Amino acid sequence: NSLVGSEMCIRDSKRTTVEMNTAAINYIQDSGLDLGVSFIFGTPGDTLQDLELTVAFMEKLSGVVMGCGNFRPLPGSRFYDEMIAAKKLIKEHISWPDLGDFSRMPPELYCDVNRDSFSTLYSRALQIAYGNPTVRVFRDVKEDLLDVAEEVCHEFTLLTVK
């Protein structure tokens, strides 16, 4: 589930509170389990203060693997259907490749924040999420696994050629 540090964002989309999210994180960590959380920035209705509170919440987390993406009105979601119905989103004008690329700034913002402010806060959130040392460990493990897989494939090729 995605987490946010703004009561307004949570109340509108998740029916939880910052306190409930914090308690859940503490409970999971106290149990000795690994925890991964994701954050979505720029949901319709988000304000500058909401995004600032979410970044502040992210900064308080430690020992948590984080992911971060920006809001896109994906087909099948409540927001997509509402935006199509309100003609805020026109199917024929959607750039489908851009709609699914969460690694860069969205072509359009759907929140109540100007592009410069959004860019600054989103860049900070990305730095917090992906600058996390735990994430780097997982990347290193992934690279090691890919090396092993490549070696296994190479050995298999040698066996089948002989």
Q: In the prediction, which pLDDT does 21 show?
A: 87
How many CB atoms within 10 Å of residue 53?
A: 18
Give me the phi and psi of 2, to 5 degrees please.
-85, 145
CA dist 147 and 61 (Å) reads 32
Q: b vs e for 142-153, b when ≥16 Cβ sit within 10 Å of the residue's Cβ?
A: eeeeeeeeeeee
CA distances from residue 113 to 29, 73, 160 in whole angstroms, order as listed: 33, 17, 59
CA dist 46 and 12 (Å) reads 10
Q: In the prediction, which pLDDT does 16 show?
A: 80
Q: In the prediction, which pLDDT does 138 show?
A: 47
- Give the confidence band of 116 by pLDDT, cuts at 50, 70, 90: very high
Q: Which of 33, 32, 37, 9 is nearest to 22 (CA)?
A: 37
Angle made by CA atoms 16, 21, 25, in degrees to the nearest 5: 155
Q: In the prediction, which pLDDT does 18 show?
A: 85
Q: How many residues does the chain have?
A: 162
What's the pTM?
Answer: 0.69
Average pLDDT over residues 132-150: 52
* Residue 106, pLDDT above cutoff 90: no
